[in-house]
Amino acid sequence: MKQKTKETTTINYFVFLLIMLVNPIIDVINSLMQRNDIVIVSLGMLTKGLVLAYLFYYFIFKVKNDPYKKYFWFYLICLFLWIVLFFVNRLNVLSVSDIYQEAILVFKSFFFPVTLGLLYYYIRGNGIDKTKTEKIFVFTFLVYLILLLIPFVTNTGFYSYKAGTNLGYNGWFYAANEIGPIMLILLFFAINYSYKSKLKWTFVIGIAMYLIFIIGTKVVFIGTFLILAFFLAKKLIQKNWRDVGYTALLIALAIFCITTSFTKNNLMAIMHNIDNASETTTTPNTSDQTTTNPNQSTKPTTKPNSKPNSKPNNKPSTTTKPNTPSKTPNTETTTPEVEEPQRDVLTILLSGRTDKFNNILHIYQKAPISSKILGIGFTNTVDVKDKNIESFIEIDLLDIFFHFGIVGFVIFLLPLFAFAYLIIKQMLTKFEANYFNYIFIIGLCLLISLTAGHVLSAPSVSLLLSLVICDMALLNNSKAKGK
């Protein structure tokens, strides 16, 4: 009987490992389909739905006699009831296509809390300990690295930003602002693993950092050096001088990579992102990433404001004759100078997301009380009449609060509070040095979520984050199995 149980848990481990390895491949296929306008059903959403279905199957039929199972069932029922009310509240103004689009956005946003709960039972029930999850992260890192390297070598990838800029580079993936956080999470675990075999991994880490830097977003630049600074501080505190030397080598390698990667216009991509901070708008059904292949020529479009650098000119045209005296004595005719808007550090850091916040806040304030409680959604209905409602602020928690209302926001946060309680309780019982690793990488993910978004509401990113949180929650009792 024990042998059979061991075989079952081993199979379940390899099934989940396969899911993690296939996920980036599916994302690439889905990206190529979208770029070529051959999407009928989102392949990425379909596979994420199958992952949830598999985890649900395990939770329903394999998790037995667990005293906390009923609480998660209660959570799922509350989530279901809110989803029903979310659509019923605006059913009279939504078309069938509107309901379909918003259902996809609900799925993408609440994929994280649901997966977090289901994955906890799956990992605990199958005894997937820290050693096994570390292998999952490392193998997944290698798959993503290969999928970024092949298009780079073959020059078949895509630029990170809008067509016409030719800035940044994110391989075959669809959105740079999602592949960036994914690679940072995986880079962290790859570097942590590389201390076991420094010579073999130095070259691999170097290639990874170069490919990460050429993505061309502020997140990947700052995040990579924060990761390296963390490991350097950790090894200095531990007084492990050999590892300190290796970390210093990685930092030098990162500086070399970031310098040589400037030829791929990644620095210009960041400057473009800052200069156009208040102009870039990402809508739920589109992306601010380009669909242009670097190997193809980019032709200017005739549509107004189609280039990211073009600014609309709504001012009336005037002609001023220089040195023309005025009919009124002692007066001069001058053209008033238009000052450039002053942007503080917060505006630059958030890339204009404060403007998007103000737009959504204005819509939220005008919404009826029922929409404030249940969510204003994303559809520009007849009672809204404001196109800005279709935009993301790109700060995950704010997007969830405004678009899904107070109730949706609370439901989204409940699993996070439950896991925070569980983790703090275990840390107070038995603290391990490995907790610092998890605290850092989870903190980095939350920082990205609060400044650049695309972490909690992006299923491919949140799947990795869910695994990190579950691994941390089971660090002290990862060998315990659900009955």
pLDDT by residue (tens digit) across 220-261? 999 999 999 999 999 999 999 999 999 999 999 999 988 887
Q: Can you count the helices (H) and strands (E) in the chain?
A: 16, 0
Q: What is the mean pLDDT of residues 87-103?
A: 92
The mean predicted confidence, pLDDT, of the chain is: 83
Q: 396 CB contacts (<8 Å, ≥6 apart)?
A: 449, 450, 453, 454, 455, 456, 457
pLDDT higher for 312 or 342?
A: 342
Q: What is the radius of gyration, based on Cα positions, of the chain? A: 25
pLDDT higher for 325 or 175?
A: 175
CB 260 within 8 A of CB 210: yes
pLDDT higher for 337 or 422?
A: 422
Predicted confidence (pLDDT) per residue in 56-76, tens digit: 999 999 998 888 899 999 999
Collapsing DSSP to helix, strand or coil, 192 comes out as helix
Of 365, 346, 353, the closest CA to residue 391 belongs to 353
Give the CB-side neighbour count of residue 365, counting CA atoms within 13 A: 6
Q: pLDDT confidence of 432, banded at 50, 70, 90? A: confident
Cβ-based burial of 90 (10 A; exposed 0-12, middle 13-18, buried ≥19):
buried
Of 247, 135, 183, 175, the closest CA to residue 444 belongs to 183
Q: pLDDT confidence of 5, banded at 50, 70, 90? A: confident
Predicted confidence (pLDDT) per residue in 334-353, tens digit: 444 444 455 555 555 566 78
Of 260, 181, 257, the closest CA to residue 223 belongs to 181
CB 34 within 8 A of CB 154: no
Q: How far apart are the first and last CA of the chain?
A: 14
Collapsing DSSP to helix, strand or coil, 209 comes out as helix
Q: pLDDT at residue 330 above 80?
A: no
pLDDT higher for 473 or 333?
A: 473
Q: pLDDT confidence of 290, banded at 50, 70, 90? A: very low
Tokens linked to 71: 């609480």
Query: What's the predicted TM-score (pTM) here?
Result: 0.83
Which residue, chain included where needed, has tokens 């409940």? 414
Q: pLDDT confidence of 470, banded at 50, 70, 90? A: very high
Give the per-residue pLDDT at 165.
63
